[in-house]
Structure 1
Amino acid sequence: MTRVLDSRKGLFYKARPLGAVVAALWTAVAAAEVVSGAQLPDGSQKVGENRYRAPGDFEKTLEYYKTVYPVSSYPRRAIVNQPGVKAVHISNPSGKNFEGLNIYEANDEVRLYVVPLQSAPGSGNKPVKKPEPKSGKKSR
């Protein structure tokens, strides 16, 4: 029994599962909100200045940020790891727009804090020097 390679059988394209996952992630990333240069998950709600409520649980939020800000380029460190409280800081090595992100979970709620840039010492806001008082001697 020989199989014909030039048959029209199987011409329909079947999407690969990995391609569907990548497309879904790309859509999620493309629809996300950007605040001060930091990307937030779609569905995040503002709760204060630079503070947002994430739509998913802590692990889901960390997975989202692994795709948006890869661990190899954006270092992470645990801030707190106590019973009932978890927190991770993601550093922004470029230093543009924001210093980093804090992701934390407390009271069954996941919050995000966009850490704003701190003004560097001596940049733009230099104190004005007062003229030094002259000595009490008068010159003649």
Structure 2
Amino acid sequence: MTRALDSLKGLFYKARPLGAAVAALWVSVAAAEVVSGAQLPDGSQKVGENRYRAPHDFEKTLEYYKSVYPAGTFPRRSVVNQPGVKAVHIVNPSGKNFEGLNIYEANDEVRIYVVPLQAAPASAKPAKKSEPKSGKKSR
């Protein structure tokens, strides 16, 4: 009698391509760094306040963000498209932690800027009506 482990069925198993792709995506997303609530590609390097150098080219960085922030939920708009410069803004519709992301390529380098929340302007206190200094009330 042959046990299931002794059979040759296991030798002919092929991994499903979709499952492998999902697993690879999950691993790449799980390893990513989060800054101010915004997810950055694994391997991003900090170059300034809220500014990071992406490890891949512009197209691969945009593909990464399509998987992390779907275009249907996180609107995108082209900021600039000039010779040598490309830029896309991804809006954070929840408005929590960060306003959005700017992804841009210039001088053969891809950068990511995490747009911080704008500080709410201090609400001006309503000016008190000044009463006349004389003892008479104005009519």
Instruction: Show the 5 A alignment for 1:1-140.
Output: 8-12=7-11, 13-121=13-121, 125-129=122-126, 131-139=128-136
Rounded Cα–Cα distance in structure 1 between residues aligned with 2:133 and 2:95 = 50
Which structure: greater helix fraction? Answer: 2
Rounded Cα–Cα distance in structure 2 between residues aligned with 1:136 and 1:17 = 84
Give 1:19 shift: 1.4
Q: Name which of structure 1's ranges 14-23 and 52-61 shifts more when overlaid on structure 2.
A: 14-23
Give 1:138 shift: 3.3
What 5-or-longer segments of structure 2 have no aligned partner? 1-6
Rounded Cα–Cα distance in structure 1 between residues aligned with 2:126 and 2:91 = 36
- Alignment root-mean-square deviation, CA: 1.8
Rounded Cα–Cα distance in structure 2 between residues aligned with 1:66 and 1:130 = 49
Percent identity, aligned pairs only, is: 74
- TM-score computed with the length of structure 1 as normaliser: 0.84
Rounded Cα–Cα distance in structure 1 between residues aligned with 2:92 and 2:126 = 35
- TM-score computed with the length of structure 2 as normaliser: 0.84
Total equivalences in the alignment: 130
What 5-or-longer segments of structure 1 have no aligned partner? 1-7
Rounded Cα–Cα distance in structure 1 between residues aligned with 2:69 and 2:78 = 16
